[in-house]
Structure 1
């Protein structure tokens, strides 16, 4: 602040005389200056509103005897002109008044500092000036209005002026109306937490003058308050004295003239990005009264936001509680990512917060759109209240994935309104979890290692197919025994899952849970128009592992747009406890009914595994399922020759494993351009089915015929002439664990584009010449063969077919567990050969018969792995090289080999030698050989 020295009239003369006297008597100019300085001090004036000035302060400040009309705001005064008397002299000075801002000015303003001679001063009067130096008001203080200026000190002096009494207030939004009966037709389609901005009008209860404050920002926060829960008995483990509440407060405090007020109207807004939209506007309110006092802050003046129990989302939440109570919710026990172990739903909160529960998803208006009860252990009958949730899109009473892989519903899983890509991914979840299997997993470690090392070949992804299922078939995770037909009211439903439940087919959506219930009574008038055919959005249905089903529930046959149906693991249908006493007719009849219904032409995915299905429906019914692309009939009781779908039904994925199928008809099915895998493993199939076509431009990933009886009929691999056989358009073909005696030349003669073939565990004693090539010319796609598994046969030699001229891209070959007495050198001239195995060669009596090391094998250009263990290799005269860096010589008791040339690589961990410590291995002490 600026300091000003004001000396007028006699005061100036007195000071001058004093100064001259000092110069004569003192002698030292510094001493004179110091003496002069001690004769001055400072005063600062503080201006306050008279309304907020305390009695004690008023006494010190004095009271104005003459006042003009009161100012509206204290900040209107920009300067003070003050007249004082000192030692009979009159002094007048104009000083600037300061405050940090206009709001702070209400609490008082300070003048610049004024430098005066020491002594006593009396205030004669003062005027307040505005920013144009116009007088606002003049004030005459009391008779004793004095102050003292002390040497080198600062004196403060309070002044008062009349200004409008004004205080600050903050607003708190509260929920109103939820406990009262709503007016008919009243609809609230916003959430309390949606409120982001509010305009509030308050009215002075005395003057009736309204004041509107606009654009107050609102912050929503969830808290709790101490509130004894009367819903539970004292001994209930969920009793909680704290109640969850939602609060909303305005971020800013606003000034109001002093007085008593109440909120009389408001308008609330929602913000989405930069867009602001009106949620609601209410008038003629009579909120709780609140007082505003001068220069004081009143916190949390209440704004009663009118909510209604008639709001659709509130009705949803009340229905949720009814469902929770009907299904023994107090004893639910759920563990989730955001919930502690043993959690259940919590209704110890304000009713408009009841929708915030595990397994429940809400839309932007608070409506329930997803409800998953998987993993809670629900028990009882699903009540009619389920029909209230009319915005519900996903409904699950259990699923195939409750325990093994985490919750199937929610973030990262099944959610409402999924894109086509997301929906297709979730439809494949069961397939990926329990069906997907790469037949190359049955190949030897040598071959699998070679495949996975090759960047040009698809890696072998280990599957879950052989692992235990999520729930063992017939065991349950819940005890839901009835589902109200009010589900039919849910016209927006997209996914419906029922699983791991003891429910019966006749108790699924066929009747009211209680026809006298409040919900049943309110729905009855409209229920006459309910029909499953109106649920056109319901495309995905699962009725899985329900052991008490003796037939499929009726609603499945009436759905108009169902695309996925999972009815796996329902052993009760046609089981020993079923209505047909294991005859196997019911499930076939249900499938026929499904295929003949309108929905049969819409089905794309049908999971039918782990049931008691004994035969397919007739061709006339199956041929109607023109969109069926994925069929799973794994682990059923299918017997004999299958019925055909016809070429018009084109599959992408087909799994028929673990049945007793003997024959696949030639017109069995067609295949799409996206066909992936077909599996016929673990059946009684006697011939390679002639259902493929090697000439197709679409090549399948894999076909699995392992563990069948192919070749048992006079050594025939096919049941037709070579001219009629069409070959197989697949990259990987598995024929392992069959009864094949003759190499399946038919496959290559018809141009099958096979790159990997598994012929292990068969009965072949030789592979004659011209098995992979004709006498003249070639089989056009034989050159594609890169991986061959011939383990566990009775082979004694390889023909010239295995030379590079026929198989130029052969990379991995395993001949282990055969009868070779001489190392087959035919494949070694292939420039691509990387791994070859010839372990455990025995004759008919079990004698070791392979004794000679394949001299020159280290010069093969690409060979990096040789497995020649479990034989009787003797003296090795060849010098090893680091290029062949994986060598298995284990269990050759008479071997003698020098590894000096690769010892440094062995020490560096760059050479893998598989050996016995008792073998005669020389040249590297790093091997710890026992001498």
Structure 2
């Protein structure tokens, strides 16, 4: 649950363990837990009912069960509908087990529930719309299961929700526009599903969102305007069928954005110069699209950029010299484009560069001798270009070099190794 801590803070009054009393209303909780146990197989719960403390159970000062945390207990079976009788329950964490079956609508009978963590199990069927009744819910993580069907619009009723993770399932249909009502949502992960349709424009209303991950789906259409999502740090949309231009206007300000991955889609148009506004960027992946035009000089503005991958597009013109001022850059992949011009001597500025991939372009001139100053390089592929002249002896300075491809150029001379 480490990924949740930065998003949601939940305060509950608990003791380290509890005696699940037989007196009412705690007695009803005891019966509900025993019914839950009867549907579950696993040695971890073998002493429930015979010892004073019940493993994984926490109670409040009244003896009411407020937390059932059984993550990684190696349990199998199904969830008994009796779980709906734990009316004081605030945390239900059954993650990383082998539970199966469907989630009963009785889950909606837990008015105090703040965390519902069922990830990494084998649950199936549809996600019950009854979850939309959990008005106190702050974390909903159903990832890494076998849920199918559509995402219920009822999830849009969870006004306190800070984290929604439905990734790694078999969900289909469209993303409901009602998710745009989740004004406190900070983390949205729907990747690795079978979702279709467009990304709702209402997601652009999520001013608190920091993380959006929708990759590995079948989403189509344009990216909606998300320039009002000023808290955004991560946008991952790769492996979809998204089209249109990259929608960042010159006024777009996303000051916290550090990861932008739009690769493996069908985007057209040019790389917007507004990328210079995203001063915290560390990773940009725009590869495998249909982006054209010149690489903007603004691409060299984010001072912390570590990865720049623009391969397999229709980019042309020279490599902007500003890229060679990025002293934090570790991976530069411009392969499979129509880039021309030379490789500048200022390549020596890239002292952190690990990978230089310029394959299949129209780059000409000589390989600069300064390449030997980029001493962290271990992977170089500048094949299938129009490079000329002698192979520089300074390549022998690259002590970490493991992969060097120079073929299909007009280079001469031997490769000198130390």
**TM score, norm. by length of structure 2:** 0.74
Shift of 1:497: 2.5
Distance, in Å, in 1 between the alignment partners of 2:357 and 2:15 is 70
Match of 1:655? Answer: 236
Contact 2:381/2:406 (8 A) holds in 1 = yes
Q: Is the alpha carbon distance of 1:753 and 1:402 closer, same or farther for their aligned partners in structure 2, counting shifts above 3 Å?
A: farther
CA distance in 2, matches of 1:849, 1:750: 23
**What are the superposed Cα offsets for residues 318-359 of structure 1, whole Å, 9 maximum, x if unpaired?**
32113333xx23xx1x3xxxx5xxx55445626xx3x513x4
- 1:379 and 1:594 map into 2 onto residues whose CA distance is 29
Deviation sequence 1:411-469 (CA, Å, 0-9, x none):
xxxxxxxxxxxxxxxxxxxxxxxxxxxxxxxxxxxxxxxxxxxxxxxxxxxxxxxxxxx
Contact 2:372 2:394 in 1 (8 A): no
Aligned to 1:324: 37
Q: Does 1:622 align with 2:198?
A: no
Cα displacement string for residues 543-569 of structure 1 (whole angstroms, at most 9, x for unaligned residues): 335655433345522222111011223
Find the aligned partners of 2:45 and 2:172 in 1 and give their Cα distance. 33
Q: Is 1:602 matched with 2:224?
A: no
1:627 shift after superposition: 0.8
State which of 820, 842, 864 in structure 1 corresponds to 2:407: 842
In the TM superposition, 1:145-544 aligns within 5 A as 309-310=22-23, 313-325=26-38, 328-329=39-40, 332=41, 334=42, 343-347=44-48, 349=50, 353=52, 355-357=53-55, 359-362=56-59, 367-372=64-69, 375-379=74-78, 381-383=80-82, 386-390=84-88, 392-396=89-93, 398-399=94-95, 401-402=96-97, 477-484=99-106, 487-489=109-111, 491=112, 493-499=113-119, 500-506=122-128, 508=130, 532-533=134-135, 535=136, 538-544=137-143
For residues 114-153 of structure 1, the aligned pairs below 5 Å read none
* CA deviation after TM superposition for structure 1 residue 656, in Å: 1.0
Q: Distance in 1 between matches of 2:229 and 2:333?
A: 32
**Are 2:58 and 2:68, in contact at CA under 8 Å, matched by a contact in 1?**
yes
Task: Show the counterpart of 1:593.
Answer: 178
Paired with 1:193 and 1:683, the residues of 2 have a C-alpha distance of 53
**Distance between the aligned counterparts of 1:782 and 1:745, measured in 2?**
15
1:631 and 2:215 correspond: no
Cα pair 2:262 2:287 within 8 Å, conserved: yes
Measured in 2, the distance between the counterparts of 1:380 and 1:193 equals: 22
Distance across 2 between alignment mates of 1:548 and 1:837: 44
**Which residue is 2:261 aligned to?**
679
Q: Distance in 2 between matches of 1:838 and 1:544?
A: 38
Judge conservation of contact 1:381–1:480 (CA < 8 Å) in 2: no
1:483-882 matches, cutoff 5 A: 483-484=105-106, 487-489=109-111, 491=112, 493-499=113-119, 500-506=122-128, 508=130, 532-533=134-135, 535=136, 538-544=137-143, 547=146, 549-553=148-152, 555-574=154-173, 587-588=174-175, 590=176, 592-595=177-180, 597=181, 600-619=182-201, 621-662=202-243, 663-667=245-249, 670-673=253-256, 675-686=257-268, 689-690=271-272, 692-694=274-276, 698-711=279-292, 716-717=293-294, 729=302, 730-735=304-309, 737-739=311-313, 742=316, 745-746=319-320, 748=322, 755-759=329-333, 761-763=335-337, 768-769=341-342, 772=344, 783=349, 786-787=352-353, 789-790=356-357, 792-793=359-360, 798-799=365-366, 802=368, 804=370, 810-813=374-377, 814-816=379-381, 818=383, 822-825=389-392, 839-843=404-408, 851-854=413-416, 866=417
In 2, Cα distance between equivalents of 1:632 and 1:190: 37
Contact 2:153 2:178 (C-alpha < 8 Å) held by counterparts: no
How far off is 1:727 after superposition? Answer: 5.2
User: Larger Rg: 1 or 2?
Assistant: 1
Provide the C-alpha distance between the structure 2 equivalents of 1:479 and 1:314, rounded to a whole number of angstroms.
27
Deviation at 1:654, TM superposition (A): 1.4
Per the alignment, in what secondary structure is the counterpart of residue 305 of structure 2?
A: strand
**C-alpha displacement at 1:603, in angstroms?**
0.6
Residue pair 2:299, 2:323 contacting (<8 A) in 1 also: no
Partner of 1:318: helix, strand, or coil?
helix
Larger relative CO (CA 8 A, sep 6+): 1 or 2?
Answer: 2
After superposition, the CA RMSD in angstroms is 4.4
The answer on whether the counterparts of 2:285 and 2:308 sit within 8 Å (CA) in structure 1 is: yes
For structure 1, which runs of at least 5 residues remain unmatched after alignment? Answer: 1-188, 195-306, 404-476, 511-530, 575-586, 855-865, 867-883, 885-931
CA distance in 2, matches of 1:660, 1:344: 47
Structure 1 pair 692/361, CA: closer, same or farther in 2 (3 Å)?
Answer: farther
SS at match of 1:613: strand
1:133-189 CA-partner distances (Å, limit 9, x unpaired): xxxxxxxxxxxxxxxxxxxxxxxxxxxxxxxxxxxxxxxxxxxxxxxxxxxxxxxx9
TM superposition shift of 1:841: 3.8
- The Cα shift of 1:683 comes to 2.4
Q: Aligned partners of 2:211 and 2:15: how far apart in 1? A: 43
Match of 1:745, SS state, is: coil
Query: How many angstroms does 1:642 deviate by?
Result: 1.9
SS at match of 1:573: strand
Aligned-partner Cα distance in 2 for 1:625–1:324: 40
Checking the alignment, whether the CA contact within 8 Å between 1:694 and 1:752 is kept in structure 2 is no
Aligned to 1:863: none
Q: CA deviation at 1:482?
A: 1.3
Specify the alignment match of 2:9 in structure 1: none
Q: Which residue of 2 aligns with 1:897?
A: none
Task: Give SS of 1:541's match.
Answer: strand
Q: How many positions carry a matched residue from both structures?
A: 394
How many Å apart are 1:708 and its aligned residue? 3.4
Structure 2: segments with no counterpart, 5+ residues? 1-13
- The whole-number CA distance in structure 1 between the counterparts of 2:17 and 2:217 is 54
Give the TM-score normalised by structure 1: 0.37
